[in-house]
Amino acid sequence: MALFALRRLLLSVPLLIGITFVSYVVISLAPGGPLDFLTPEDPNASPEVKERLIKEFGLDQPIHVQYWQWLKRAVRLDFGRSFLPDGRPVLAKIGERLPVTLFLNLVELAIIVGVAVPIGVLSATRQHSLYDKVTTVFVFVGFATPDFWLALLLMILFGVQLGWLPISGLRSLNWEYLSFWQQQWDFFAHLVLPIVVATFGGLAGFSRYMRQSMLEVVRQDYVQTARAKGLSERVVISKHALRNALLPVVTILALALPGLIGGSVIIESIFAIPGMGQLMVQSVFSRDYPVVMGNLVIVATLTLVANLVADISYALVDPRIRFGGRRGRR
Amino acid sequence: MPRRRARGRSLLAWAAGGLLLTACNGPIESRSEEGSTVGGAPAYGDTFIQASIGDIGGLIPSLTSDQSSHEVGGLIYDGLVKLDRDLNHAPSMAESWTYSRDCLELTFKLRRDVKWHDGRPFTAEDVVFTYQTMINPKTPAPFKEGFLLVKEAQALDPYTVRVTYDKPYARAIETWGTYILPKHRLQAFAEAGTLRESPQNSHPVGTGPYRFREWKPGEKVVLVASPDYYEGRPYLSRVVYRVIPSQATIFLELKARGVDYVSSLTGIQYARQTEYPAFRKAFHKFRYPGSGYTFLGFNLKDPRFADLRVRQAFAHAINRQELIDGVRLGLAREATGPIRPGTWAYTADVKRYPYDPQKAKALLAEAGWEDRDGDGLVEDREGKPFTLTIRTNQGNDERKKIAELVQQRLKEIGIQADIQLIEWAAFIKEFVKPRRFEVVVLGLGTGTDPDQFVVWHSSQRGPDQMNRTGYANAEVDHLLEQGRASCVQKDRARYYHRIQQILAEELPMIFLYTGDALPVVAARIHGVSPAPAGILYNFTEWFVPKPAQRYTSG
């Protein structure tokens, strides 16, 4: 097991380098460069400034040299400074946005799992029932509804018409002046709409996987056996079927990890939440290579780690995989 | 994306003096219950919340080119001069200035009561330092041209600065309206070329009416009134710029009274979506001509467009009123040239091109384009049909609609036009700069000074320069040089009037319209008084009467 993990870990190093190299080349080849944004389409902008910045940023070098320079610094975890006029270190820019996105996404994921698993299980055990049909319609409506549209509708209803919830942002402007509990409530109120919108869209996938996986499991012989033993249906489902049905879902869950820090651009933009999604999109649009690459390294690393975790957790959850290697155990 | 859209709307952000002013002379309309909003007893306090679609780039605005940075920077920093309500230069940190008789020397007398926000006195040293920093090749300031023309800037004594020029420069005074930087905080960084990394770029110290309080990147910038501001403490105690990257959300926040000011509504928001009693009670809407124009630009390198008759045919084929009504819901005015209407340099006495498809067809025929095979499209003598592509940037709905309406009108005169929308960076780099286009729809800003040397002079046709159509006219060149080198307004007006007449005759581009600025301000805020300069010019005098104040904290 440990050997397996180690081998996978070592293999991911060249993979990570490959990913960053391809990304570096692709972003550099995209039309326009950082300078098109620093020195805009303006009659009064001076071209010399541009020349100077190109030199300063090292953009006059061939791509492979640029990449090598970047890689040398990146292995020491120095991702450089943003090309934007704020000139701040990349890690600081990412660091201040990561917590919000991570927090939001963890809450979302928890809610999605918490809601989708029962939906999936129930609609599998009552396949073709009215409940099954209703939830199927419900989750697919959620899946098909554009985020931004739902978000705007909810904002109009709860923010403008009813005035119950704040429309955007994370905190009220007078947040510092609120008492502790008011602050918590204020924060919570700001989170309601974004989380509802984000989870609504995410329910479909998960509950479908759960349903599918459950449907397969309840047809297995061991479930029949459990029933034949005279166990109650509740125990059969929750103890014997569910645990096995969760296996593929765990994989999907692990693969959702990198998404946790990616953040949703649409949700973040519409609700004015300063998270990773916005940072990534803004840095791509302004061709802020250091920030783009910094972001990318984190996401790529997490994806690789998530794959590893998925495999390992598979082994942990499924005794057949865990003990399969040991001889004579059966 | 939002950055893009903001940029697309007005191609240039003109930083002129203290606040970014976005308006001009001409009819001014205020759609509020009582007209302008003067009244009530002035009182200190309350918070002014403004939504900004993009985050600021940094807090040394001289290094940035985005509008948000200049709006915020304009409140933190002051210049030696500022623009008054009529867009004239007025004293700010300089109490007076004098030109020498030959226009080559400009002497500023500085106020003695100006202090940096950290308590240090402001002196002539800071002005000279700002000049030296701006001309330093290590300073990545996008707008430094005005400073590069200066021959020498020297401090005669702590409160007198003398600037000398090699030759008269008409925009000299405008240059000194930009942000003066604190020498005591920046000297080392400026010399090392690391201004962007200096503490000043994240925690600025200025001399302006508001002090910096905090910047939460991507979320908000908070400023507080400077109690010892030399022109008197501003009434509004706090100013908050909230970053809201979605136009739709900004509008909803406005309706929910979560923001107090939006610099410009869209036409549909102004004309329809805000016309209900609750909104009219909570906000005052304003309307005046904006500071830029939208145009259809020709590539004069293309032999078809090198023919004046073809360009004039296009001008007659396009129905501008239709564009104004269809694209802007009537909230725009026809543009006749590149100069801001209502300013001293503007003239309406230029050739006009009313919508007239018959005349357009006749002009095309004269140029050799006729329908020879009866398919409804015009062909040249070899039978090659007149086809072209109208290009503009993606994400700008107005320009897209213009392209569509123009496409239809061109079809009427037998010209087959396609439309191509291209992402901003690619559009500029692949098409506009290398001049690989036939016609483009774009916008240009009109500054407070009429000098447009860089847009029309034949020396400015390089790939990184601004004469994008490739226009060259010896008389215009000469007039631009003269207009730039004179400091006598009457003479300058004559040059610019003539330039407008020539441009209207020769049509290197078709001037379409100037969109109206449509700002909204919360009704509780008093003292807003629309003027040729827009509304923000007297921001420090805006106030909320005590009983109407909404935010007590801070």
Query: The complex's ipTM?
Result: 0.80
Instruction: Check residue A212 and give its pLDDT.
Output: 87
Q: What is the CA radius of gyration of chain B?
A: 24
Instruction: Check residue B183 and give its pLDDT.
Output: 95
Please compute the mean of the pLDDT values over residues A157-185 and round it to a whole number.
86
Residues of B in contact with A170 (CB under 8 A): 219
Q: How far is CA B435 from the centre of its chain?
A: 24
Report yes or no: A135 and A122 within 8 Å, Cβ to Cβ: yes
Which residue is closest to A96 within chain B, CA to CA?
A: B217
Determine, for residues A272 and B196 on separate chains, whether the beta-carbon distance falls below 8 Å: no
Where do the H-state alpha helices sit in B272-367?
277-282, 303-306, 308-317, 320-328, 357-366
User: What is the least distance, in Å, from the CA of B64 to any CA of chain A?
Assistant: 6
C-alpha closest to that of A203 among A144, A258, A269: A144
A325 vs B368, higher pLDDT: B368
Determine, for residues A269 and B428 on separate chains, whether the beta-carbon distance falls below 8 Å: no
Please compute the mean of the pLDDT values over residues A59-88 and round it to a whole number.
83
Please compute the mean of the pLDDT values over residues B286-291 and round it to a whole number.
88
What distance in Å separates the CA atoms of residue A10 and residue A91, rounded to the nearest whole number?
A: 25
Instruction: Check residue A44 and give its pLDDT.
Output: 53
Give the best residue of B48, B55, B63, B65 to mutate against chain A (max A CB count within 10 A).
B65
B131 vs A119, higher pLDDT: B131
C-alpha closest to that of B191 among B104, B129, B234: B129
What distance in Å separates the CA atoms of residue B250 and residue B248, rounded to the nearest whole number?
A: 5
What distance in Å separates the CA atoms of residue B386 and residue B371, rounded to the nearest whole number?
A: 10
Average predicted confidence (pLDDT) for chain A:
82
A254-258, B275-279, B322-326: which range is least confident on average?
Answer: A254-258
Length of chain A: 330
B21 SS3 class = coil
Q: Does B248 touch chain A (CB under 8 A)?
A: yes
Report yes or no: B161 and B127 within 8 Å, Cβ to Cβ: yes
Determine, for residues B454 and A169 on separate chains, whether the beta-carbon distance falls below 8 Å: no
Report yes or no: B270 and B251 within 8 Å, Cβ to Cβ: no
Task: Specify the DSSP element, H or E, that contains B106.
Answer: strand B105-110
B312-316, B396-400, B463-467: which range is least confident on average?
Answer: B463-467
Residues of B in contact with A263 (CB under 8 A): none
Q: Does B97 touch chain A (CB under 8 A)?
A: no
Strands (E), B361-506: 387-393, 416-422, 439-445
Residues of B in contact with A168 (CB under 8 A): 244, 249, 252-253, 258
What distance in Å separates the CA atoms of residue B221 and residue B244, rounded to the nearest whole number?
A: 12
Q: Beta-carbon neighbour count of residue A149 at 10 Å?
A: 11
Report yes or no: A20 and A293 within 8 Å, Cβ to Cβ: yes
pLDDT band for position A321 (50/70/90)? low
Instruction: Check residue B306 and give its pLDDT.
Output: 92
B499 SS3 class = helix
Q: Which two tokens stand for residue B194?
A: 């690391």
Instruction: Check residue B360 and give its pLDDT.
Output: 94
C-alpha closest to that of B270 among B332, B201, B321: B332
Nearest to A44 among B56, B143, B428 (CB): B143
Determine, for residues B4 and A39 on separate chains, whether the beta-carbon distance falls below 8 Å: no
Instruction: Check residue B407 and give its pLDDT.
Output: 95
B34-43, B154-163, B218-227, B236-245: which range is least confident on average?
Answer: B34-43
Instruction: Check residue B2 and give its pLDDT.
Output: 34
What distance in Å separates the CA atoms of residue B362 and residue B433, rounded to the nearest whole number?
A: 33
Please compute the mean of the pLDDT values over residues B203-223 and round it to a whole number.
94
Tell me the C-alpha to C-alpha distance, in Å, between residue B337 and each of A281, B350, B447, B449, B504: 37, 8, 13, 14, 7
The contacts of residue A224 (CB under 8 Å, 6+ apart) are none
Determine, for residues A31 and B216 on separate chains, whether the beta-carbon distance falls below 8 Å: no
User: What is the least distance, in Å, from the CA of A140 to any CA of chain B?
Assistant: 26
A175, amino acid identity: W
Highest mean pLDDT among A5-14, B154-163, B391-400: B154-163
Instruction: Check residue B332 and give its pLDDT.
Output: 92
Determine, for residues A269 and B245 on separate chains, whether the beta-carbon distance falls below 8 Å: yes
Query: Which residues pair with residue B522 across a beta bridge?
Result: B283
pLDDT band for position A263 (50/70/90)? low
What distance in Å separates the CA atoms of residue B379 and residue B360, rounded to the nearest whole number?
A: 15
Most distant CA pair in chain B, distance: 80
Query: Which residues pair with residue B157 across a beta bridge?
Result: B160
Determine, for residues B3 and A286 on separate chains, whether the beta-carbon distance falls below 8 Å: yes
Determine, for residues B256 and A167 on separate chains, whether the beta-carbon distance falls below 8 Å: yes
Which residue is closest to B143 within chain A, CA to CA?
A: A45
pLDDT band for position B102 (50/70/90)? confident
Report yes or no: B56 and B215 within 8 Å, Cβ to Cβ: yes
Q: Does B426 touch chain A (CB under 8 A)?
A: yes
Q: Does B441 touch chain A (CB under 8 A)?
A: no
pLDDT band for position B261 (50/70/90)? very high
Report yes or no: B316 and B357 within 8 Å, Cβ to Cβ: yes
Residues of B in contact with A287 (CB under 8 A): 425
Determine, for residues A85 and B69 on separate chains, whether the beta-carbon distance falls below 8 Å: yes
Highest mean pLDDT among A15-19, B135-139, B226-230: B226-230
Q: Could you tell me the sign of the dihedral formed by the alpha carbons of B172, B178, B182, B183, in that order?
A: negative
Please compute the mean of the pLDDT values over residues B30-41 and round it to a whole number.
50
Tell me the C-alpha to C-alpha distance, in Å, between residue A277 and each of A94, B71, B72, B243, B252: 11, 26, 25, 15, 22
Give percent of chain B with pLDDT exceeding 90.
58
Nearest to A42 among B1, B65, B553 (CB): B65
Compute the count of residue pairs across chains A and B with CB atoms less than 8 Å apart. 182
pLDDT at B468 over 60: yes
Determine, for residues A84 and B58 on separate chains, whether the beta-carbon distance falls below 8 Å: yes
pLDDT at A156 over 80: yes
Determine, for residues A173 and B551 on separate chains, whether the beta-carbon distance falls below 8 Å: yes
A33-47, A236-250, B292-306, B470-484: which range is least confident on average?
Answer: A33-47
Three-class DSSP labels, chain A: CHHHHHHHHHHHHHHHHHHHHHHHHHHHHCCCCCHHHHCCCCCCECHHHHHHHHHHCCCCCCHHHHHHHHHHHHCCCCCCECCCCCCCEHHHHHHHHHHHHHHHHHHHHHHHHHHHHHHHHHHHHCCCCHHHHHHHHHHHHHHHCCHHHHHHHHHHHHHHHCCCCCCCCCCCCCHHHCCHHHHHHHHHHHHHHHHHHHHHHHHHHHHHHHHHHHHHHHCCHHHHHHHHCCCCHHHHHHHHHHHHHHHHHHHHHHHCHHHHHHCCHHHHHHCCCCCHHHHHHHHHHCCCHHHHHHHHHHHHHHHHHHHHHHHHHHHHHCHHHHHHCCCCCC
Average predicted confidence (pLDDT) for chain B:
87
Determine, for residues A32 and B429 on separate chains, whether the beta-carbon distance falls below 8 Å: yes
Q: Which two tokens stand for residue B325?
A: 């009504």
User: What is the least distance, in Å, from the CA of B424 to any CA of chain A?
Assistant: 9
Determine, for residues A167 and B249 on separate chains, whether the beta-carbon distance falls below 8 Å: yes
Residues of A in contact with B220 (CB under 8 A): 173
pLDDT band for position B73 (50/70/90)? very high
Task: Specify the DSSP element, H or E, that contains B332.
Answer: strand B332-334
pLDDT at B21 over 60: no
Q: Does B47 touch chain A (CB under 8 A)?
A: yes
Determine, for residues B426 and A31 on separate chains, whether the beta-carbon distance falls below 8 Å: yes
Residue B525 is classified by DSSP as -
Q: Does B551 touch chain A (CB under 8 A)?
A: yes
